Amino acid sequence: MRRHFRLQGLPGPSALAIGNFDGFHAGHRRVLRLLAAQARRRGLQAAVLTFHPHPRVFLGQDVRLIQTDAQRLETLSRQELDHLFCVDFAAGAGIPAADFVSGVLLSTLRARLLVVGSDFRFGRGREGDLAFLRRAVAGRCAVVAAPTPQSTAGAWPARSSAACWSSGRCARPGGCWGGPTASTASSCAAPAAGRSWASRP
């Protein structure tokens, strides 16, 4: 598994999970196991994209993290992944949502399967959401929404997840894995000062 502290082009298409993974609970483990299995089945590279600092920290919000950046990186490094991207959130916070999808997700990271939290927000001013993402990648990339901790009370049982993964669609607003998992908030081990996550294929 290769670690990257700035974005760079992947040699092949990927199955990509975007999330925080703080504390790495059972829901996180299930997400990454399913991600790795689908990557193998589809001939994709299994990858995770996370950020530092935590987006809520960057936005000046109060957030209590369970793990340090170094601990989170170590935990993710033990998972069945081909690539782990931990990049500076501040360096890309001003990218418009449409450019993030086309330039980062589809072009640089070559995503063909995306796993995000059901409350996923991205792009300048948090202008992009799950519906925006699905419209932007339609016909080019499947999107699976993982349930957030707040949305798990009504989640579908685990047996329902296979169809969602296979189709890349889930009709359940909160996701369908029956447990909390990756959300849009993200953080990991910080690289050396001055590095950015500008794309460098």
- Answer whether residue 132 is part of any domain: yes
Q: What is the pTM of this model?
A: 0.74
Classified as helix, coil or strand, 81 is: coil
pLDDT computed for residue 23 by the predictor = 81
- Answer whether residue 40 is part of any domain: yes
Give me the number of domains the chain comprises: 1
- Answer whether residue 159 is part of any domain: yes
Q: In what order do the strands lie in the sheet with 111-117?
A: 2-4, 83-88, 45-52, 14-18, 111-117, 142-146
- Answer whether residue 122 is part of any domain: yes
- Answer whether residue 55 is part of any domain: yes
Q: What are phi and psi of 17, to 5 degrees?
A: -105, 135
- Answer whether residue 185 is part of any domain: no
- Answer whether residue 193 is part of any domain: no
Mean pLDDT of 128-146: 94
Instruction: Read off the CATH number of the domain in which 106 is found.
Output: 3.40.50.620
Is 70 in contact with 141 (CB distance < 8 Å)?
Answer: no
Cα–Cα dist 198/201, whole Å: 10
Which of 13-17, 46-50, 115-119 has the lowest average pLDDT?
115-119
- Answer whether residue 57 is part of any domain: yes
Q: What is the pLDDT of residues 47-104, one digit of tens each?
A: 999 988 777 777 777 778 788 888 888 999 999 999 999 988 888 888 999 999 999 9
Q: What is the pLDDT of residues 138-192, one digit of tens each?
A: 999 999 988 765 444 333 333 334 444 444 444 444 344 332 233 333 334 333 3
What is the domain range of residue 101?
A: 2-167
How confident is the prediction for the chain on average, in pLDDT?
76
Is 34 in contact with 178 (CB distance < 8 Å)?
Answer: no
Cα–Cα dist 40/46, whole Å: 8
Greater pLDDT, 97 or 20: 97
